[in-house]
Copies of this chain bind each other. A is one copy, B any other.
């Protein structure tokens, strides 16, 4: 598919392009861009904090904003089960419900159905499953996943996809990809029919899958690119595979994605992932990692993660990171955080979360600036040389979580 073809497909959408490429790095595939949504423009590359159940765990929306986040993600699977789309609609939509005025991206529910739900049954029609909360029966189809997100009032919506795990065989991975493609076409059709007025439409992204096969990754990306979507997501990565393989598959996917639409790597990542994946051309990220590890006391610094519960912080009377401008580091000592975690005080989870999300946003700001300044690669090298990664531990943990959820669901 040539760029001209792509431009032609894009013209199916009559409004002005939402995606604006500002600057391109010379030596890597990094891009500085922006994405216009109906609730504001997002500076790219961007990291989206995860507000699974209509709240970024432990933070108020104002605190999320003050970390520098411009957009948050919420999970359709969780919200459809609790409180349910009707209550969110009656509340005046998800933005009013959770008091977040900026853009919201919602996923389709697919990933959680495959990782959390019980007794799921996938057919071409959709997926039937039981809630992990109360065992109640639910159905997600490509159409229903969109209706839910339209009901939430999300600004960026994702189509239902079929996710194959790192441990699935070749045939399963292929079948999941092909189903994902068929479901995307249905989603596009349903989106157009449901919201005929293009000005009223939220943005719709496609999701490229393809498992862990290079050719399939390219094929799936090409398929997504051929659909008139507003952005291209890369799914099915960071599900327990080695980091090198993840980066390899990501590069394959991106090789067949168009330049003129944003690329969103779903469910990634750690601080080092941000730099490495931007270098490959990613524009958007989301991940529970910074918030989840924060609640266990693991805090990001430029030297790597530190655990504030460890004895060495008992008498650390400076901030966790003296170079950090977050509310936590500006106000509290590491010794106080240590105390809060040891005493299991709720304030500790919040202060740690603020710090980690601010750390992520500071990385994104540094990434954006360095692309414009033409020194992205150098900045990346500086960051990666200093930052001690916890990759191996993280990948192993993700593998275990995934395996546990698969076996729990009888797959």
Interface residues of A (CB under 8 A from B): 53-55, 57-60, 78, 82-83, 87, 90-92, 97-99, 314-315, 317, 331-333, 335-336, 338-340, 342-343, 345-347, 349-350
Contact = CB atoms under 8 A, between A and B. Distances in A.
Contacts of A340: 53, 55
B87 A314 contact: yes
Contacts of A78: 343
Nearest to A317: B91
B332 A99 contact: yes
A130 to B, nearest CB: 18
Contacts of A346: 57-58, 346, 349-350
Given A82-B343, A343-B82, A346-B349, A87 B57 contact: no
Contacts of A317: 90-92
A350 to B, nearest CB: 7
Identical copies of this chain, number: 2
Contacts of A90: 315, 317
13 contacts: A57-B347, A60-B347, A78-B343, A82-B342, A83-B335, A83-B339, A87-B335, A87-B339, A90-B317, A92-B317, A99-B332, A346-B346, A350-B350
Chain B CB within 10 Å — which of A91, A332, A336 has the most? Answer: A336
Contacts of A97: 333, 335-336, 339
Given A97-B333, A332-B99, A336-B97, A345 B87 contact: no
Contacts of A60: 347, 350
Nearest to A331: B99
A345 B83 CA distance: 13
Nearest to A327: B60
